[in-house]
Amino acid sequence: MACHFTPSLIFLLSLLTLSSPHLDSGGGEWALLHRSVGISAMHMQLLHNDKVIIFDRTDFGPSQLTLPFGKCRHNDEVVSEDCTAHSILYDVASNTYRPLMVLTDVWCSSGALSPDGALIQTGGYHGGDHKVRTFTPCDDELCDWIELPQNLSVQRWYSSDSILPDGRLIVVGGRKAFSYEFFPKNPQHSVFYFRFLVETTDFKEENNLYPFLHLLPDGNLFVFANQRSVLLDYKINKVLRQFPPIPGEKRSYPATGSSAMLPIRLSPQISAVEVMVCGGAMGGAYTKAAEGIYVAASRTCGRLRVTDPDPEWRMEFMPMGRVMPDMIVLPTGDVIILNGAGKGTAGWDSAVDPVLHPLLYRTNEPDVRKRFSVLNPTTIPRLYHSAATLLPDGRILVGGSNPHVLYKFTGVRYPTELSLEAFSPPYLGSERTHLRPSILSVEGPADGLTVSYGQRFSVTFSLMEDPEGEFTVTMVAPAFNTHSFAMNQRLLVLYVADVQQMFSLTHRVIVHAPPTANVAPPGYYMVFVVHHGVPSHSVWIRIK
């Protein structure tokens, strides 16, 4: 029988033959922060007071963490009274946490930070699927979840959120929700039908949930689902452009890959904008997993320069296949890919062969064979419902995996995982300590920690010895992470107008803030100084 190959498959096979990834062995360090925090870290959001809000779901029984002051919920779907927490607030500096109380089910929900730094959290399951909740950071240990009286217009379960230039949130998709809406609501029209989500739904498997959203510098929204992507002008409810499908496997839940918008350089003009998508699974992998057959995960990554007049996916191969990976953009502009499995899809007991080694992807390495490096492994499998987020000191916070009903720890292949750990990328190695800058101050025309669009401000920093190489200053938006997608993640490389030497080992860099809210939506950002590939601890600034 003759074998017939599509052009895309022929291209991928030729690339696999020619490409030999740069397999550095080792690098980076893992640290166990807590063997158990009482809940499974299914969702994460870093806040501007260096605390991380973490939560799982409310409908699968008591957790391992008791609520304070005799608080209990009586709307649980598994037990009549639940006096345990399903959310915590983790303090990065002290490595401590305290329980929080969510009122309705936040399972498989979404979120984004408002311009004033509050978490706006949307949707969930059953009693929580129309809900909007907020969490406003505080330092007096009294703040907790607040459930708003206004609801979403339709149920949002497995949807994605993006902050917009005007400070609103757009909530896109979800299970059987082929639409998007805004928070606060659009006063004229509350729900907008989005045919693209119908067109990208696979029979039985869906494979278009938790769509990847990236706000582009032109103010429009890049939306990716399954294998397709479009440019959406949400202001007039019109698809402006359809991009070519990505070759290879499916990429959206449950054939879960991940996506990141690569760093945008602002020196002096806005650079070309690229979106990267990695990992995923073949169509049919979810139904096969239900039969105990686990299909090998995708090895491919694709980069799409969305600002090109005729963009095409440029495909690369990871050293190993991965489904359910997390892609975290580092302060240096490189990307860490971690968590996930080598076979199967997202879903309970739907994946095997945990991938324990993180990958470092060098975004600007010209030789495609040298872009990937394999780093030191964790010992803890992080499969379905794991999460990861960048911390202000440059580490990656990692937690969660396989939360079973009643927090099952026995009788399952991969038990509910309650631990938290941190991964320190190679740039935090002791051999590079002498290269690490230390930010002393941030100064602007008014309040040094608040800047306006296009405004010049300065960052003063010190080094342990005479500098090697140039300095860059990056701004990183804290992301809402769940289901292998860091919503609202973006990194901007600021335009450096001047560098001044203050003392022998002290320098001041004068930079321009991003020019518009399209480039950097209003809110809080981490500012890093990067010297010779090593980032400082960040300082928070607010842009508005």
> How many angstroms separate the CA atoms of 478 and 390, rounded?
7
Strands 456-462 vs 300-305: parallel, antiparallel or unpaired: unpaired
Summarize the confidence of residues 159-187 as an average pLDDT: 96
pLDDT category of residue 13 using cuts at 50, 70 and 90: very low
Considering only CA atoms, which of 153, 196, 198, 191 is closest in space to residue 175? 198
pLDDT, tens digit, for every residue of 79-93? Answer: 889 999 999 999 999
> How many angstroms separate the CA atoms of 241 and 374, rounded?
36
pLDDT, tens digit, for every residue of 272-323? Answer: 999 999 999 999 999 999 999 999 999 999 999 999 999 999 999 999 999 9
The counts of H helices and E strands in the chain are: 3, 43
What is the pTM (predicted TM-score) of this model? 0.94
pLDDT, tens digit, for every residue of 14-40? Answer: 343 334 344 445 799 999 999 999 999
Q: Which two tokens stand for residue 507?
A: 């320098």
Q: What is the pLDDT of residue 1?
A: 34
Considering only CA atoms, which of 131, 114, 33 is closest in space to residue 480? 114
Q: What is the pLDDT of residue 3?
A: 36
Residues listed for the chain: 544
Q: What is the pLDDT of residue 2?
A: 36
- The answer to whether residue 230 scores a pLDDT higher than 90 is yes
Strands 485-487 vs 51-55: parallel, antiparallel or unpaired: unpaired
SS (H, E, C) 416-434: CCCCEEEEECHHHCHHHHH
> How many angstroms separate the CA atoms of 372 and 363, rounded?
9
Q: Which two tokens stand for residue 72?
A: 């209990």
8 vs 260, higher pLDDT? 260
* In contact, 513 and 527? CB cutoff 8 Å: no
> How many angstroms separate the CA atoms of 336 and 333, rounded?
10
pLDDT category of residue 143 using cuts at 50, 70 and 90: very high
- The answer to whether residue 485 scores a pLDDT higher than 80 is yes
> How many angstroms separate the CA atoms of 399 and 396, rounded?
10
Task: Tell how far CA 39 is from the center of its chain.
Answer: 20
- What is the DSSP code (8-state) at residue 310? S
> How many angstroms separate the CA atoms of 313 and 316, rounded?
10
One-letter amino acid identity for 194? F
